[in-house]
Structure 1
Amino acid sequence: MTDTTRIEEDIAHLLRTVDDLSDVVARQEKEIDILKRRLHVLMEREAERELDAGGSVPLADQRPPHW
């Protein structure tokens, strides 16, 4: 095997790896967006529940005491 052939094979392998990783990152970005939306909905629900229970400022909107 010549050096040129070896380099071409290495490049082809690296390009395939980059494409595979790009697909993984794109899928993870979609999953993160979905999880962010779900978390936002859950935080809103909990804030409403805390407010309905008689709290003045929902705990989800309060800063921790160390801030």
Structure 2
Amino acid sequence: MEPIEEQIAHLTRIVDDLSEVVARQERELALMTRRVQLLLEREATREVDQGGSVPLGDERPPHW
């Protein structure tokens, strides 16, 4: 019975560690997503300031 309890304890620790990793990655992904959004907004503003039009996310380039 003792080997099974040890294995359960080991697997529980692994699950807890992986849970922490996933939670950290979720926070990092949310931060990166926000930063990309800010960069896109900044670039759109720069484009408008230079006399261009506001780029649309689903707009295809003219060569398509």
Shorter-chain TM-score category? 0.7 to 0.9
Give the percent of matched residue pairs that are identical in Structure 1 and Structure 2: 59
Computed over aligned residues only, the root mean square deviation of the Cα atoms, in angstroms, reads 1.4
More helix by share: 1
Superposition TM-score, scaled by structure 2 size: 0.83
Superposition TM-score, scaled by structure 1 size: 0.80
Q: Which has the higher contact order (CA 8 A, sep 6+)?
A: 1
* C-alpha deviation, 1:15, in angstroms: 0.2
1:1-34 Cα deviation digits (max 9, x unpaired): xxx1111111100000000000001111111111
Partner residue, 2:18: 21
Give, in whole Å, the separation in 2 of the partners of 1:57 and 1:43.
Answer: 11
Which runs of 5 or more structure 1 residues have no equivalent in the other structure? none
Partner residue, 2:9: 12
Q: Which amino acid is the alignment partner of residue 64 of structure 1?
A: R
Which runs of 5 or more structure 2 residues have no equivalent in the other structure? none
* C-alpha deviation, 1:55, in angstroms: 1.2
| Paired positions, count | 61
